[in-house]
Amino acid sequence: MATLLSTTDLTAQFGGLTAVDRVNLTVEEGSVTGLIGPNGAGKTTAFNMISGFLTPTSGSVNFAGREITGHAPHRLAKLGMSRTFQHTSIFANLTVRENILVGMHLKIDQPFFRTLTGRIKPVDEDAVREILNLLELADRAKIQAGSLPYGDQRKLEIAIALAVGPRLLLLDEPAAGMNPEEAMRLVGVIRMIQKRDITVLLVEHNMRLVMGVCDRIHVLEHGRKIAEGTPAEIAANPRVIEVYLGKGQANA
Amino acid sequence: MTRQTLTGILLFGLAAAVPAFVANPFYLHTGIALMVNIVLALSLNFILGYVGEKSLGHAAFYGIGGYTAAILAINYALPAWLTLIAGAFVSGLFGLIVGYPSLRLRGPYFAIATLGFGAILQLIATNWVAVTKGPMGMPGVPPISLPNPFGAGFVFSTERPYYYLALIFVALTCWITYRLANSRTGRAFVAIHENVDLAESVGIDTFNFKMIAFLLGTVLAGLIGAFNAHYTNFISPKALEPYLTLNAVTMVIIGGEGTLAGPIVGAVLVTFLPEVLRVAEQYRMVFFGLILLISIIYAPSGIVGLVRNIAGRREAARHGNAA
Ligand SMILES: Nc1ncnc2c1ncn2[C@@H]1O[C@H](COP(=O)(O)OP(=O)(O)OP(=O)(O)O)[C@@H](O)[C@H]1O
Ligand SMILES: [Mg+2]
């Protein structure tokens, strides 16, 4: 398998605090890769640097064979990267369907001047329906996104990011706030996404979800990468167990 | 044909028929003033209403259009079709200069830049006497005339032709708004307003679309400013006053930002309310400020938003659920 995404000595400093400290990550094409670690470990900060929302203090990011460090997010979307946000991030005053249409921005062929002067191509409704079906939101299409129940809003976020048509999808705690049943359904969703040849980088605290769906996992603590391996390796790694359960309980 | 298009065509048909029944030039004049306000409100609506960037110097662009047309027509005797285009163009050019550095930045920079630009322009218009004739303004802006290659041109000597030209500009502005609102560009505008980070992450070049919205608005404001200078045969620093910007902002907000109908409703109210309530000239700024405040607190999505809410609730009640 080829490497789709890699970071080299990726570092973010906020004043005196080093939130991400010389982290090297690789994400293989076609994989579901997990990025885990306790609160404040630097996962979201790493996401922000990879997706162009934060310029790294030092280090670099490579995506699909090119250096993309410091590229604006919209340029990365064009290259095939999309993401969700840790704090629910949708277009609350638009309908569910309109949210998807905005997500399809890059795929909709309606240039500005043609919009004013002539006929514009209609939107690909099949593509919209397909995404809504995948996330089980088809019957919510006309509802205002902000009035959806929380679990559905989280699904909508994924739907928007998928609508971009990415090669790499970054998910920041997609199961946060979902009930256990919704969270486990997410395993199925992520598998479906993987089947569509979309690579996934997943930040998540729900260990059942992470262990259930990831091919490979990276572990951060205090900005440093402390482990990398398959779910089985990570589950057996004493350093990781220590971090998650606290000192002295590693053998419990 | 949708109900919206039908309503639009009906309204324009009605407006076009008015001069056939109304002979009193005062009423036609009021109609023209209203239409100038409608174009002004809709032009501000792109950036303020759809994209949600606080543009606080809109009068400056209206004034630039007016001064450009006046100077070109008086000093260089250029024909009106050219001065109108020049007014729109020069205004857009200044939009580019103001927007390019300030729309890149997050935060209040754009609001500050437009506010400052408005103030500077008013100073220039007042003090650069050699070009603008200063605070007294420039009288004698010639009326619009249409060229005629076979003989004497058609000079706009009554209200009626101005009325129809204004109506054409209103139609043009409505058409642009309507087409954009239902396209990828309009959705990008709204997406930026709603959630700029998410908009960026799905591939929307947010700076680019902010610029499109702002340039569109400044070009149209310049055009209608140029029109008004010809129509009133006069331009003065009054055309650049903060009062006029406040007017335009009020129209957009109380009518309903980010909609087609909202700024039109707002323009009707702002044009007629002070007359109906007999608010004295010197209190109008206070009056509009108050109305704006009340609207922002009690009806942030304007009158159109209120009506939609009520209609939506009725609809929901009819279907027997509260969603
Ligand atoms: N913009 C910022 N300015 C200053 N400090 C920040 C900023 N963003 C993050 N931090 C700090 O960087 C550290 C890493 O934060 P980050 O949000 O990346 O952690 P995380 O692994 O995503 O945690 P969680 O699981 O709670 O989401 C934290 O100590 C946080 O307070
Ligand atoms: Mg986080």
Mean pLDDT of B64-92: 94
Cα–Cα distance, A140 to B220 (Å, whole number): 39
Q: Match domain A1-80+166-252 to its CATH number in 3.40.50.720, 2.60.120.260, 3.30.70.940, 3.40.50.300.
A: 3.40.50.300
Tens digits of per-residue pLDDT, B14-73? 988 888 888 888 889 999 999 999 999 999 999 999 999 999 999 999 999 999 999 999
Beta strands in chain A, from DSSP E residues, in sequence order: 3-14, 17-28, 32-36, 58-63, 66-67, 81-83, 168-172, 199-203, 216-221, 224-229
Tens digits of per-residue pLDDT, B222-273? 999 999 999 999 999 988 988 889 999 999 999 999 999 899 999 999 998 8
pLDDT class for A105, splitting at 50, 70, 90? very high
Q: Please, which residues bridge with residue A219 across strands?
A: A36, A227
Q: What is the pTM of this model?
A: 0.92
pLDDT class for B323, splitting at 50, 70, 90? very low
Inter-residue contact B36 to B230 (CB < 8 Å) = no
Helical segments of chain B, H only:
3-21, 25-44, 58-76, 80-102, 109-127, 129-132, 159-181, 184-194, 196-201, 206-232, 242-255, 261-276, 284-298, 302-318
Phi, psi of B50 (to 5 degrees): -80, -55
Query: Which of B194, B195, B206 lies nearest to residue A74, judging by beta carbons?
Result: B206
The CB of A14 under 6 Å from ligand 1? The reply is yes
pLDDT class for B320, splitting at 50, 70, 90? low
Closest CA to ligand 1's atom 24: A39
The residue in chain B having the minimum alpha-carbon distance to the alpha carbon of residue A80 is B203
ipTM of the complex: 0.93
Beta-sheet pairing, A3-14 with A17-28? antiparallel
Mean pLDDT of B122-143: 88
Nearest CA among A85, A40, A45 for reference residue A177: A85
Residue ranges covered by each domain of chain A: 1-80+166-252, 91-163
Mean pLDDT of B261-289: 85
Q: Which ligand is nearest to the CA of A46?
A: 1
Mean pLDDT of A21-42: 94
Q: Residue A38 CA: which ligand 1 atom is closest?
A: 25
pLDDT > 90: what percent of chain A?
76
